[in-house]
């Protein structure tokens, strides 16, 4: 008989998790340092408690049933969240504070991470875990304290607060500018153009803002990451439209020259995202510090 009011032991759940992942009681036993019969017993106990088969025995191996697959998807996530919760609890109770941060890859690498030592210096013994994420995700499930979001007010389940607008500029390497004799914004369109695959409209909008018809401006080299567009621009492959926050050092050092400001109807912004209903003092401190970095940008 199924017992919905009685929770399985952690040992039972770990045996089921390993067995589901490996689809083998023998491999699960090796992973957990148990005997195959012990793992099989624990799984059988769980099946009896739930009242349905979780695995089909196939020769010397096993395969998850439909019910087993559904349970595995949930249990594996639950156990991973429990592991992360315990990690945070241990760190908070006996060691340094830990701040888990997520941000878009290029923004994290080029703008955020170079500034993090300054924040760490303000908090003695602070440890930071940084993840690169481009799209919204479940902050609570992933145990992320603060995330930087690029886009709009479109992150369900998160508290969003504005960080800064995106400032776009047309840039190119000095040698390329000299070779094409660029002296005014419209001259930029005579150079080879570099495109971010997800935002190929940018050059057309820039051209239209200058009174150009904007046709045939999607030709040129295309890249799927801003970091690649930046590298291509530095190599002199063409002119690029880039956010200023991602090329502060290059603009400051003269490796890329700012040729024109770019405005777009599809302008996006940076936001700070935190789990809904969560108000951690450290996350609030980090958010306030981030805003100061935007107001006083790092140069050099």
Read off the pLDDT of residues 51-69 as tens digits, 9 standing for 90 and up. Answer: 999 999 887 778 999 999 9
The pLDDT value given to residue 298:
43
Q: Does domain 10-81 have CATH number 1.10.10.10?
A: yes
Residue 90: pLDDT band with limits 50, 70, 90: low
Look at strands 127-132 and 146-151 and give their pairing: unpaired
CB 286 within 8 A of CB 99: yes
HSE-CB of 167 using CA atoms within 13 angstroms: 12
Separation between Cα atoms, residue 47 and residue 68, nearest integer Å: 9
Over residues 92-148, the pLDDT tens digits come to 555 668 899 999 999 999 999 999 999 999 998 899 999 999 899 989 878 899 999
Our CA angle for 97, 94, 137, nearest 5°, is: 40
User: pTM score > 0.85 for this model?
Assistant: no
Give the pLDDT mean for 171-199: 94
Q: Does domain 96-165+268-295 have CATH number 3.40.190.10?
A: yes
CATH number for domain 168-262, candidates 3.40.50.2000, 3.40.50.720, 3.30.70.150, 3.40.190.10: 3.40.190.10
Residue 83: pLDDT band with limits 50, 70, 90: confident
Over residues 230-244, the pLDDT tens digits come to 999 999 999 999 999
Percent of the chain at pLDDT above 70? 91
Sequence ranges of the chain with CATH classification 1.10.10.10: 10-81
CB 68 within 8 A of CB 59: no
Sequence ranges of the chain with CATH classification 3.40.190.10: 96-165+268-295, 168-262
- Is the per-residue pLDDT at 214 higher than 70? no
């Amino acid at each position: 008989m199924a017992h919905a009011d009685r929770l399985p032991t952690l040992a039972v759940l770990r045996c089921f998790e390993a067995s589901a992942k490996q689809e083998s009681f023998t491999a699960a036993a090796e992973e957990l340092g148990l005997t195959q019969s012990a793992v099989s017993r624990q799984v059988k106990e769980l099946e009896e408690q739930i009242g349905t088969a979780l695995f089909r025995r196939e020769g010397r191996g096993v395969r998850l049933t439909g019910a087993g697959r559904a349970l595995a998807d949930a249990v594996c996530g639950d156990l991973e969240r429990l592991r992360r919760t315990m990690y945070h609890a241990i760190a908070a109770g006996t060691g340094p504070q830990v701040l888990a941060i997520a941000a878009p890859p290029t923004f994290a690498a080029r703008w955020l991470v170079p500034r993090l030592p300054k924040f760490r210096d303000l908090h003695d013994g602070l440890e930071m875990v940084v993840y690169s994420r481009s799209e919204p995700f479940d902050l609570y499930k992933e145990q992320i304290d603060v995330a930087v979001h690029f886009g709009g007010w479109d992150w369900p389940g998160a508290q969003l607060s504005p960080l800064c607008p995106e400032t776009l500029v047309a840039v190119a390497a000095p040698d390329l500018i000299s070779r094409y004799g660029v002296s005014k914004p419209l001259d930029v369109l005579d150079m080879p153009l570099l495109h971010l695959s997800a935002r190929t409209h940018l050059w057309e909008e820039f051209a239209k803002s200058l009174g150009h018809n904007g046709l045939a401006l999607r030709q040129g080299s295309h890249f799927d990451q801003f970091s690649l567009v930046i590298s291509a621009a530095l190599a002199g492959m063409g002119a690029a439209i880039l956010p200023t926050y991602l090329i502060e050092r290059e603009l400051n050092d003269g490796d890329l020259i700012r040729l024109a400001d770019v405005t777009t109807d599809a302008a996006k912004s940076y936001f700070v995202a935190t789990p809904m209903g969560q108000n951690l003092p450290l996350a609030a401190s980090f958010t306030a510090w981030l805003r100061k970095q935007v107001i006083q940008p790092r140069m050099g």
